[in-house]
Structure 1
């Protein structure tokens, strides 16, 4: 495991979610009622940065073409509207372990 410090836990708690650059990648992080989530932050379709969070359904949507992903598993739930026949089972996002370590959000890259 290689844990990388990212942002303040208080900031993530306040803003609920944020795409954060970690080394050479963007990771989308969320704090939903104290539970932390981390998935790839670039959509598998056109590499747009995902950031439209639905807290109730634990999903995140890509702003470019509206692909929808499960925040817990990274699974694509809806393909981009420009590619309705895209193979959803092959276009999910990687998930990461995430933790609060002494007030800092760390992610295992």
Structure 2
């Protein structure tokens, strides 16, 4: 495990979500009712940055073509509207362990 410090826990709590560069990756992080989530922030379809969070469904949507990903698993739940036959099972995103360590959000990359 290699834990990397990203942003302050207070900043993530206030914003609810953020996409942060960690080494050579961009990671989407969310704080939903005190539970932390982390997954790749770059859509597997057209390489756009994710960003429309649905707190109730625990999903995040890509702004470019509206693919929807599960925050718990990284699985693609809805394919991009421009590629309705896209193989959802192959286009999921990697999830990461995430924690609050002394007021800083850390991600295991």
Gaps (5+ residues) in structure 1?
Answer: none
Return the alpha-carbon distance in structure 1 between the equivalents of residues 105 and 87 of structure 2: 33
Segments of 4+ in structure 1 off by > 2 A?
Answer: none
Q: SS of the counterpart of 1:4?
A: strand
Q: CA deviation at 1:66?
A: 0.2
Number of aligned positions between the proteins:
109
Return the alpha-carbon distance in structure 1 between the equivalents of residues 69 and 47 of structure 2: 14
Q: SS of the counterpart of 2:11?
A: helix
Normalising by structure 1, report the TM-score. Answer: 0.99
Return the alpha-carbon distance in structure 1 between the equivalents of residues 21 and 71 of structure 2: 18
Question: For residues 40-89 of structure 1, what are the alpha-carbon distances to aligned partners after superposition, in whole Å with 9 as ceiling and x for unaligned?
Answer: 00000011000100001000000000000001100000000010000000
Return the alpha-carbon distance in structure 2 between the equivalents of residues 13 and 92 of structure 1: 26
Return the alpha-carbon distance in structure 2 between the equivalents of residues 10 and 73 of structure 1: 25
- Partner in structure 2 of residue 9 of structure 1: 9
- Partner in structure 2 of residue 80 of structure 1: 80
Q: CA deviation at 1:7?
A: 0.1
Gaps (5+ residues) in structure 2?
Answer: none
Return the alpha-carbon distance in structure 1 between the equivalents of residues 15 and 56 of structure 2: 16
Q: SS of the counterpart of 1:48?
A: coil
Return the alpha-carbon distance in structure 2 between the equivalents of residues 49 and 26 of structure 1: 8
Q: Does 2:31 align with 1:31?
A: yes
CA RMSD of aligned residues (A): 0.3
